[in-house]
């Protein structure tokens, strides 16, 4: 009913900020999402798109033609522009560039030259710069000639005549300074500018560690290229953290919560396919011991206990390592200590739970041999799990494989195989 | 050797920022950590402690006496103070309060009155306030009387004579305004102040959504109490994200990567203990079918495949739901859609992988019945997994149980039980 729709449109465009609209769209199933998007004011579309996650934005972008895209992109900040263009096919990018005027095209081409996950991909070019030799009073008068200052401007950047970075002039410090003092006397020079090729994760660490709001970005000749602001860094922090969580379930951190059935089915199938392979690996290990199982069926009943306890212990070690590596706490110097600690802690728990499980098993089946076998197998599987859980993520990282994505699968396959092999192997030996 | 130690001390206190020192301590095994801490300058200790994670800080704090604590805490910002005091036993807090002067004590007591995980617990009281009727020129002269402004001051807060919140005056806007204009003409009034009791997660959402650097906090009568700054919000975002990841392995997000052996053993034992219980539950399900297994040993070989495929499919649904709930995308209105989508996507994959697994099984064992049984069991287990994975986190949240902590265990127990029950149950039926 069109009356109700008009009302929704009024609320959408009048009462909500572009980021609220983006959040509402992201929180809506596909059909409502398309409907709501149609109600968004044309002038707001660009801003709303800037706040959307990559996966969802790509869907909407595919419906624009080159001319529409070019119009849309005119108001974008350079980092958002880069972000967005990198999602489009090369042919579309070329078309968009062709419809732009010379100045816009140059800006876009420069931005596209930096990889998305570096300081260059995060930065904006909207810096306010001053020279070191002028007085604060002159700076204040210069600023007053602006209609607005760029968002998140907490400091002006002091540069030489050749645009080389010299220091920063925090606005709060300027406000409490003598207006007659020069910029040089007031500015901060112990701030290290960010190299344009630094990874976005490292940029985030710098912002977190030094409580920055914005930071200057320079090229290899110390020439100022732009600045990075905390709002974009917060997105990096959120994405990095989401990445570990989602990857461990074989999901992408950009995954649309409301992706349609077929898209979801296709993406999940990959991970289930990997698991079919690993599950058959474990099954084939069990298959080696069919005779023993036929002889002592209790083994079939108990073997998942050995596998799952190893899986739990190993996952704890793995998760701790992945978190520690993500926040930069794990170095080569500390790996030996960590391996030692994980081994000892898990071995202690291994012995403890070997006793508990073994006692419960002997009571259940009235068989001392099976109690001994499960105790030994548990200690073996848990200690192997601790070693694999510690070293696997480091090895994967060295091989440039994402530990959060591949670590869990490999670890659980290992604890399944080692669990079944040690339990059924020992049983075959003791019952033979 | 004391020469080397002196050199380390010089680097530590001269070359590194307090946050760098904190990171270095957090990245060191216990013995080195204690050694390094002894080398930190007394005057830096307070600041270094502010940058440490709770778990590690608590260790160091336990070595201070009340008088030392009181001296240490004098320079703390109110939010860090609250954070830190909340880790001390009540008797120690009382002792610390007793050694403080009246003014400090009042500040501490006020701060302690707000729960740690609310806006009140996050805020600082170091606001710079102005009245609406004065001119920008007067504001600039008033600011110049300060020696410094509080860190992260991106705006002044406009209040009435009774300290009621009226609006904010962004400093960047003030700098481009006519000095003769009044605060009222320049200020921003469409900013909603943050209620003191709002949860820290919701505060973080507001900061992310509106790209805030700082925001005013008010009581229920709209009276200004303090302000929250982005650096503390970034910590909340990081902790919330870490929480989901770490909880799913039964770990605490504050877990010290370098916790000593016994502490680690004790903490992990709890989670392994939970798993012993759930593993015996699954084992007892298998135990119900001992006779069938004796008859067809291939069942023992294949049953882990059914359980693990269900576990993988369910974990994907669960992780997606937990992430969606954490970022506020999942509402009651969308649950039905999500349930529907998860059910359909998982059922489709269930059928696909039932065919694959069933074919492989028939080739392996040359038995059509077992192929049929595993296909049916897979479809049952995967569809149950999708329903449980969707509804479980919502149910747990309603029961005020942390879905990230309990969700995985309950889900995997379910998929094990349903997997074994359906596979062995159907086998018993078909082979009987």
> Is residue A15 pLDDT above 90, yes or no?
no
Domains present along chain A, CATH in parentheses: 2-116 (1.25.60.10), 129-247 (3.10.580.10), 261-431 (1.10.357.20)
d(CA B87, CA B108): 14
d(CA B200, CA B217): 12
Other beta carbons within 10 Å of B375: 23
Residues of B in contact with A25 (CB under 8 A): none
What pLDDT digit, counting tens, does each position of B147-163 carry? Answer: 999 989 999 999 999 99
Side-chain-side CA neighbours of residue A393 (13 Å): 29
**Residue A4's pLDDT is what?**
81
Strands (E), B191-348: 194-195, 214-218, 224-229
Residues of A in contact with B207 (CB under 8 A): 234
Residues of B in contact with A319 (CB under 8 A): 245-246, 248-249, 251
- Asked if the Cβ–Cβ distance from B320 to A255 is below 8 Å, we say yes
DSSP secondary structure code for residue B101 in this structure? -
Q: Which of A62-66, A70-74, A204-208 has the highest mean pLDDT?
A: A204-208
**Residue A202's pLDDT is what?**
92
A206-228 b/e (C-beta count within 10 Å ≥ 16 → b): bbbbebbbbbbbbbeeeebbbbb
Q: Phi and psi (nearest 5°) for A120?
A: -60, -40
- Asked if the Cβ–Cβ distance from A148 to B308 is below 8 Å, we say no
Percent of chain B clearing pLDDT 90 (strictly above)? 62
* DSSP letter for each residue of B267-297: HHHHHHHHHHHHHHHHHHHHHTTHHHHHH-T
**Residue B64's pLDDT is what?**
82
- Asked if the Cβ–Cβ distance from A261 to B207 is below 8 Å, we say no
Look at residues A330, A341, A342, A208 and name the one whose alpha carbon lies nearest to residue B27: A330
Touching A: B residues 56-75, CB under 8 Å: none
d(CA A301, CA B303): 11
A40-66 b/e (C-beta count within 10 Å ≥ 16 → b): beeeebbbbbbbbbbbbbebbbeebeb
Reduce the DSSP state of residue A227 to 3 states and report it.
Answer: strand
**Nearest chain B CA: its distance from A95 CA (Å):** 32
Reduce the DSSP state of residue A166 to 3 states and report it.
Answer: strand
Secondary structure element (H or E) that encloses residue B155, with its range: strand B155-159
> Is residue B397 pLDDT above 80, yes or no?
yes
d(CA A302, CA A290): 15
- The verdict on B236 touching A (C-beta cutoff 8 Å) is no
Q: Phi and psi (nearest 5°) for B146?
A: -75, 150
**Residue B67's pLDDT is what?**
79
Other beta carbons within 10 Å of A160: 14
**Which is it for the CA torsion B193, B196, B197, B199, positive or negative?**
positive
d(CA B342, CA B327): 19
Q: Which residue from A172, A176, A261 is facing B345, i.e. has the nearest CB?
A: A261
What pLDDT digit, counting tens, does each position of B206-239 carry? Answer: 998 888 999 999 999 999 999 999 999 998 988 8
> Is residue A82 pLDDT above 80, yes or no?
no
**Residue B373's pLDDT is what?**
96
Percent of chain B clearing pLDDT 70 (strictly above)? 100
* CA dihedral angle for residue B405, residue B411, residue B416, residue B422, rounded to 10 degrees: 170
**Residue B185's pLDDT is what?**
95
> Is residue A252 pLDDT above 70, yes or no?
yes
Percent of chain A clearing pLDDT 90 (strictly above)? 62
Q: Which residue from A279, A283, A344 is facing B261, i.e. has the nearest CB?
A: A344
- Asked if the Cβ–Cβ distance from A244 to B245 is below 8 Å, we say yes
Nearest CA in chain A to B345: A265
State the average pLDDT over residues A14-19.
Answer: 84
**Nearest chain A CA: its distance from B164 CA (Å):** 24
pLDDT band at A83 (very low <50, low <70, confident <90, very high): confident
Residues B280, B284, B287: CA angle, nearest 5 degrees: 135
State the average pLDDT over residues B323-330.
Answer: 88
State the average pLDDT over residues B178-200.
Answer: 93
- Asked if the Cβ–Cβ distance from B257 to A307 is below 8 Å, we say no
**Nearest chain A CA: its distance from B91 CA (Å):** 33
The number of helix segments (H) and strand segments (E) in chain A equals 21, 6
What pLDDT digit, counting tens, does each position of B258-280 carry? Answer: 999 999 999 999 999 999 999 99
Residues of B in contact with A297 (CB under 8 A): 290, 293-294, 300
- The verdict on A213 touching B (C-beta cutoff 8 Å) is yes
**Nearest chain B CA: its distance from A197 CA (Å):** 22
pLDDT band at A1 (very low <50, low <70, confident <90, very high): low
Look at residues A78, A88, A27 and name the one whose alpha carbon lies nearest to residue A52: A27
Q: Where do runs of H (alpha helix) occur along A100-199? A: 102-112, 119-122, 136-144, 171-175, 183-186
> Is residue B107 pLDDT above 80, yes or no?
no
d(CA B338, CA A260): 10
Distance of CA B345 to the CA centre of its chain: 30
- Asked if the Cβ–Cβ distance from A346 to B268 is below 8 Å, we say yes
- The verdict on A271 touching B (C-beta cutoff 8 Å) is yes
- The verdict on B328 touching A (C-beta cutoff 8 Å) is yes
Look at residues A310, A251, A201, A27 and name the one whose alpha carbon lies nearest to residue B245: A251
Check if the beta carbon of residue B269 is closer than 8 Å to that of residue A255. no
- Asked if the Cβ–Cβ distance from B242 to A323 is below 8 Å, we say yes
d(CA B56, CA B87): 11
Residues of B in contact with A144 (CB under 8 A): 175-177
Reduce the DSSP state of residue B167 to 3 states and report it.
Answer: strand
pLDDT band at A102 (very low <50, low <70, confident <90, very high): confident
- The verdict on B180 touching A (C-beta cutoff 8 Å) is no
State the average pLDDT over residues B368-386.
Answer: 96
- Asked if the Cβ–Cβ distance from B308 to A275 is below 8 Å, we say yes
Residues of A in contact with B329 (CB under 8 A): 23, 26-27, 257-258
**Residue A61's pLDDT is what?**
84
Reduce the DSSP state of residue B161 to 3 states and report it.
Answer: coil
Look at residues A355, A364, A419 and name the one whose alpha carbon lies nearest to residue B284: A364
Rg for chain A, CA atoms, rounded: 29
pLDDT band at A210 (very low <50, low <70, confident <90, very high): confident
Residues of B in contact with A56 (CB under 8 A): none
- The verdict on B127 touching A (C-beta cutoff 8 Å) is no
- Tell me the count of A-B CB pairs closer than 8 A: 330
Whole-angstrom distance between the N-terminal and C-terminal Cα of chain A? 78
Residues of A in contact with B394 (CB under 8 A): none
Q: Which residue from A151, A265, A357 is facing B345, i.e. has the nearest CB?
A: A265
- Asked if the Cβ–Cβ distance from B249 to A302 is below 8 Å, we say no
d(CA B200, CA B215): 13
- The verdict on B323 touching A (C-beta cutoff 8 Å) is yes
- Asked if the Cβ–Cβ distance from A297 to B307 is below 8 Å, we say no
Other beta carbons within 10 Å of B202: 14
pLDDT band at B126 (very low <50, low <70, confident <90, very high): confident
Touching A: B residues 350-389, CB under 8 Å: 352-353, 356-357, 360, 364
- The verdict on B348 touching A (C-beta cutoff 8 Å) is yes
**Nearest chain A CA: its distance from B311 CA (Å):** 10
What pLDDT digit, counting tens, does each position of B336-371 carry? Answer: 999 999 999 999 999 999 999 999 999 999 999 999
Residues of B in contact with A294 (CB under 8 A): 294, 297
- Asked if the Cβ–Cβ distance from A238 to B241 is below 8 Å, we say yes
Of the given ranges (A89-103, A263-277, B227-241, B412-426), which has the lowest mean pLDDT?
A: A89-103
Q: What is the ipTM score, two decimals?
A: 0.88
- Asked if the Cβ–Cβ distance from A269 to B349 is below 8 Å, we say yes
Secondary structure element (H or E) that encloses residue B159, with its range: strand B155-159
> Is residue B116 pLDDT above 90, yes or no?
no
DSSP secondary structure code for residue A180 in this structure? T
Percent of chain A clearing pLDDT 70 (strictly above)? 100
Reduce the DSSP state of residue A147 to 3 states and report it.
Answer: coil
Residues B200, B202, B204: CA angle, nearest 5 degrees: 70
**Nearest chain A CA: its distance from B384 CA (Å):** 16
Average pLDDT, chain A: 90
Touching B: A residues 81-110, CB under 8 Å: none
**Residue A101's pLDDT is what?**
78
> Is residue A377 pLDDT above 80, yes or no?
yes
Which is it for strands B155-159 and B165-170: parallel, antiparallel or unpaired?
A: antiparallel
Check if the beta carbon of residue A193 is closer than 8 Å to that of residue A165. yes
Which is it for strands A214-218 and A194-195: parallel, antiparallel or unpaired?
A: parallel
**Residue A168's pLDDT is what?**
96
Of the given ranges (A287-301, B97-111, B380-394), which has the lowest mean pLDDT?
A: B97-111
**Nearest chain A CA: its distance from B257 CA (Å):** 6
In angstroms, the Cα distances linking B127 to B156, B165, B417 are: 8, 12, 57
- Asked if the Cβ–Cβ distance from A349 to B265 is below 8 Å, we say yes
- Asked if the Cβ–Cβ distance from B241 to A246 is below 8 Å, we say no
Of the given ranges (A74-88, A369-383, B331-345, B360-374), which has the lowest mean pLDDT?
A: A74-88
A13-25 b/e (C-beta count within 10 Å ≥ 16 → b): beebbbbebbbbb
A182: β partners: A135
Average pLDDT, chain B: 90
Check if the beta carbon of residue B366 is closer than 8 Å to that of residue B322. no
**Residue A191's pLDDT is what?**
86
- Asked if the Cβ–Cβ distance from B319 to A140 is below 8 Å, we say no
**Residue B419's pLDDT is what?**
97
Secondary structure element (H or E) that encloses residue B336, with its range: helix B332-365
Q: What are the residues whose beta carbons fall under 8 Å from the beta carbon of A82, sequence distance 6 or more?
A: A111, A112, A114, A116, A121
In angstroms, the Cα distances linking B156 to B29, B80, B350 are: 44, 22, 59
Of the given ranges (A127-141, A309-323, B27-41, B349-363), which has the lowest mean pLDDT?
A: B27-41
- Asked if the Cβ–Cβ distance from A323 to B264 is below 8 Å, we say no
Which is it for strands A224-229 and A214-218: parallel, antiparallel or unpaired?
A: antiparallel
d(CA A323, CA A329): 9
**Residue B1's pLDDT is what?**
66
Nearest CA in chain A to B50: A209
d(CA A418, CA A380): 8
Residues of A in contact with B304 (CB under 8 A): 279, 282-283, 286, 304, 307, 416
């Amino acid at each position: 009913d069109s009356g109700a729709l008009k009302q929704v449109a009024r609320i959408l465009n009048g009462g909500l900020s572009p980021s609220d609209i983006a959040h509402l769209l992201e929180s809506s199933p596909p059909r409502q999402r398309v409907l709501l998007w149609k109600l968004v004011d044309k002038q707001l579309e660009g801003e709303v798109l800037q706040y959307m996650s990559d996966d969802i934005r790509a869907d909407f972008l595919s419906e624009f033609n080159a001319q529409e895209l070019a119009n849309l992109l005119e108001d974008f900040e350079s980092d958002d522009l880069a972000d967005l263009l990198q999602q489009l096919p090369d042919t579309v990018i070329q078309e968009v560039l062709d419809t732009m005027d010379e100045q816009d095209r140059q800006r876009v081409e420069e931005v596209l030259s930096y990889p998305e996950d570096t300081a260059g991909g995060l930065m904006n070019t909207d810096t306010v710069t001053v020279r070191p030799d002028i007085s604060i009073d002159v700076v204040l008068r210069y600023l007053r000639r602006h209609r607005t200052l760029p968002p998140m401007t907490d400091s002006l950047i002091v540069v030489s005549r050749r645009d080389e970075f010299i220091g920063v002039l925090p606005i709060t410090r300027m406000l409490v300074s003598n207006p007659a003092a020069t910029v040089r006397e007031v500015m901060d020079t112990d701030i290290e500018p960010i190299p344009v090729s630094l990874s976005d994760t490292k940029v985030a660490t710098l912002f977190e560690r030094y409580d920055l709001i914005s930071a200057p970005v320079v090229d290899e000749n110390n020439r100022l290229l732009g600045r990075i602001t905390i709002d974009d860094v917060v997105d990096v922090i959120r994405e990095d953290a989401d990445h570990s969580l989602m990857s461990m379930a074989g999901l992408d951190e950009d995954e649309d919560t409301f992706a349609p059935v077929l898209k979801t089915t296709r993406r999940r199938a990959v991970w289930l396919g990997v698991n079919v392979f690993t599950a058959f690996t474990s099954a084939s290990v069990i298959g080696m011991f069919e005779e023993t199982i036929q002889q002592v069926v209790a083994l079939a009943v108990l073997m998942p206990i050995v596998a799952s306890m190893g899986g739990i212990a190993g996952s704890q070690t793995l998760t701790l390592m992945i978190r520690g590596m993500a926040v930069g706490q794990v170095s080569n110097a500390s790996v030996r200590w960590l391996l030692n600690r994980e081994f000892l802690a898990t071995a202690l728990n291994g012995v403890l739970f070997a006793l508990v499980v073994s006692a419960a098993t002997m009571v259940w089946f009235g068989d001392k041999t099976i109690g001994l076998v499960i105790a030994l197998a548990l200690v073996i599987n848990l200690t192997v799990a601790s070693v694999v859980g510690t070293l696997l993520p480091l090895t994967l990282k060295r091989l440039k494989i994402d530990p959060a994505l591949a670590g869990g699968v490999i670890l659980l396959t290992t604890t399944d195989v080692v669990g079944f092999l040690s339990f059924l192997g020992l049983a075959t030996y003791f019952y033979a």
